[in-house]
Amino acid sequence: QAKNRSALWTRLSAPTGLSGSYPVLISPFRQTTQVGTNSIRTAKNLQVPFGVSGRFDKRGQRHLYRFPAKKGRYYKFQVQSQRQSFAVDSVLTIFDKNGKQLQRADDGWFTKDAHCYFQAPANGDYFVEVRDLNQRGGKRFIYHLQGEASGPDFELYGEYYYGMMSPGGQAIWFARIARLNGFKGPVEIRAENLPKGVTMTPVTVPAGMSECGLIFSADQKAKINASLVKITGRALVDRGSKKKVPIIRPARITCELRRAGASAFVR
């Protein structure tokens, strides 16, 4: 059973080693499959949280799913397809019970897989639609849609990709918080898997601020070493219960690759 609250993709191989590796979805949410081409009238009923896997067999198909929502609550929807080497360039659209479009979302962070946060304007049933941007279909047009309750949240970004220090030296990276759905609280920044002899000065981004510096220091006796460092942000958020809920968000890393006459941001 998965302990994390979002989809995790892993690969499993046969013990003999003769079989290829296959991606397997592990999720704490109830899973189902899409059946046929949907419309609002025939949309499949799903209860949040959910996961649903589908495929566009023919061109021009769209798949709709009905879900109940409460006024003022936030809901998060995200698609995985191209990140798992499938072909769907996904678009997400939210409709009310009368078919009125309330929200539309396209590409995510450095991916063609769509995601969005939706705040319900009233109690009732709503519909989330998945389709391919160019209305394509076929064997490789497979997707997985995940829906879950959400609320105040944040995303963490960092403009860094390597750091070099000599013994006794220091280096600085920069982090930026994107505050979502009204989140205003403090965020504690942590660094994991630092090389032996390297530490990061503790830092918490206070309410009302969204940027900070991450200062790393190497011990005078630190030996030559390297490691892949993971930066995360941790915060307590209000999700409608008596106690605030802790959430952890990994940093999305960006850097600038400079070429002759041009440059491009990459992850």
20-28 long-range CB contacts below 8 Å, 24 or more apart? Answer: 23/84, 23/85, 25/51, 25/53, 25/144, 26/2, 27/2, 27/51, 27/146, 28/1, 28/2, 28/3, 28/4
What whole-number percentage of the chain has pLDDT above 90?
A: 68
Distance CA 123, CA 15 (A): 50
Closest to 128 (Cα-Cα) out of 57, 52, 59: 52
Split at pLDDT 50, 70, 90, the class of 107 is: confident
Please state which of the ranges 134-143, 156-165, 219-228 shows the lowest mean pLDDT.
156-165
- The predicted pLDDT at position 27 comes to 84
Closest to 56 (Cα-Cα) out of 145, 140, 137, 130: 137
Predicted TM-score (pTM) of this structure: 0.78
